Amino acid sequence: MIQNPILPGFRPDPSIVRQGLDFYIATSTFEWFPGVALHHSRDLAHWRPIGHALTRSSQLELRGVGDSGGVWAPSLSFAEDKFWLIHTNIRQRLTNFKDIRIFLSTAPEISGPWTDPIALDSIGFDPSLFHDEDGRKWLVNMVWDFRKGRSRFAGIVLQEFDVRSESLIGPRKKIFEKPVLIEGPNLYKRGGWYYLMLAEGGTGWNHGISMARSRSLWGPYEEDPHGPLLTTRDTLDSPLQKAGHGELVETPSGEWYLVHLASRPLPPSRRCLLGRETCLQKVEWTADGWLRLAGGGWHPKLEWPAPQGLHAQPWPALLEREDFNAPSLDSRWSALRVPMEKSWISLAERPGWLRLRGRDSLHSLFEQSLVARRIEEIPLRIETRLDFEPVGFTQMAGLIVYYDTRGHYYLRVTWNESHGKVLGVVSTDEGSYDELGDIAIGNWSSIYLRAEIQREVLCFFASANGSDWIAMGPSLDASKLSDDYGAALRFTGAMAGVCCQDVGGDRSHADFDYFQMSRL
């Protein structure tokens, strides 16, 4: 059986492609570096992370981009014996204007090497590349209209991409619009019809997927009279809420599946701490040429039979504990906005330990020394051991549970004039910084740090020997680390990791012996 979500945790805006017997999914990474997370399966049920497409500064510049900016909605395709990747870099998003860059990269293999991106246009976001049967290629995008009194989502446009000149050519023509939020367009051709698949209704509780079709690439496109292909906007009962933004894939035996995002609310607040996750639904074509969820309806299901003709291929289980003995971190780790460069992160300077050199504060959009992994399940325990000798209050290091610069919880070691080395919890809530109490730890031989999340409650603990644990700070509201909390639209997900700050500029370092995330 295929169990949803197939990619748990913060893995939104999935794009799927098949090459032979292999399936690949690309997902959004926003302000996290490297960009565009990639996953691989051979049976659609079992998936493994295989790295990222955008791994170099020449491919992706994120310094200064705001929270929930950066890499939105990649689109992955395969044609002419290579992979094609469209991605959006949102540099600014919180005014009438969106400062957008659309890029194209290619690679001979999913593992790369991926080319430095070709700049296309800036008219909208979440586009895709359609490869028509005659070999021509078309960028299908939405239009963002910043003008007063206008709909921000101003329709779907099409423009040809010329491979020889590596540029968009010819007119950009609007092919479809409707008086709701439509984005994330994808084109498919089947049975003489061009099908336009759209993310509709925004990325929250009204999200969904709709379809339209035309005999001509340029339209006119008629909407599916059945209504949405997939949505949960009409029900609170589905365990998979906010369902939308999808793509199609056909198996070797001719079955069709829809990959899409969805979120799982936690009681009692119904906030989605695990973020927007990747799910898969089986779909079927009707006799009159429309697409439907297998079995009818439009609500996503938690499980489906695996495709015919594909043998189950589970992958080796990923280790819960990272002992930092490898020459590099595995692909589950990400940094904020900047590459993991030896100027601030090292696995070699102290073998068996991860060393971070302190830089900007946790509120910075530029150079944080923070690495983290996605929270994929709850209840969860997160643990590390820290070796750190601060000599001033500007130096901090510890265990972080993070949503963005405006929302996170931090169990950190620092120094103060009264007690020397101290340990305590600090929080940032809607940008407001608070300190929730410190204890002196100058006589501790070691510093073990732990976080536990059960439903919507986060608690921190600490130990001087790894055996005897004491509670640190109050119980905290973990549900605030979600898209659903706060005044601003947010699109990422909860992460957990380790970090070091030296806002005085002395670049003090902290060493971490291990990092473990395990289900309680």
Per the structure block, which two tokens stand in for 465? 């020997």
Q: What is the DSSP string of 33-98?
A: ESEEEEEEESSSS--EEEEEEE-STTT---TTPPTT-EEEEEEEEEETTEEEEEEEEEEE-SSS--
Pairwise CA distance, residues 89 & 70, whole Å: 5
Residues 6+ apart with CB under 8 A from 501: 358, 359, 360, 361, 362, 368, 369, 394, 395, 396, 397
Per the structure block, which two tokens stand in for 323? 């002992």
In the residue annotation, 367 being an active-site residue is answered as no
Q: Taking the CB of residue 119, how many other CB atoms lie within 10 A of it?
A: 13
Strand partners, 270: none
Pairwise CA distance, residues 325 & 106, whole Å: 33
Residue 202 DSSP class: -
Furthest C-alpha separation in the chain: 77
Give kind and range of the element (H or E) at residue 357.
strand 354-357
Q: What is the DSSP string of 472-484?
A: EEEEEEGGGSSTT
Residue 318 DSSP class: P
Q: Which of 13, 247, 277, 438 is catalytic?
A: 13
Place of tokens 């500064």: 57
CA dihedral of 104, 105, 109, 110, whole degrees rounded to 10? -70
Residues 6+ apart with CB under 8 A from 150: none
Pairwise CA distance, residues 252 & 359, whole Å: 50
Alpha helices in 300-344 (DSSP H): none
Residues 6+ apart with CB under 8 A from 263: 240, 241, 242, 272, 274, 275, 276, 277, 483
Pairwise CA distance, residues 135 & 386, whole Å: 56
Q: Which of 67, 183, 200, 456 is catalytic?
A: 183
Q: What amino acid is encoded at 450 in this protein?
A: R
Nearest to 38 by CA among 23, 49, 54: 49
Strands (DSSP E) contained in 208-341 are 208-214, 222-223, 230-231, 241-250, 256-263, 277-285, 291-293, 303-304, 321-322, 334-336
Q: Taking the CB of residue 298, how many other CB atoms lie within 10 A of it?
A: 20
Determine what percent of the chain falls in helix, strand and coil, rounding each to the nearest 5: 0, 50, 50
In the residue annotation, 67 being an active-site residue is answered as no
Per the structure block, which two tokens stand in for 56? 């170099």
The residues assigned a catalytic role are 13, 183
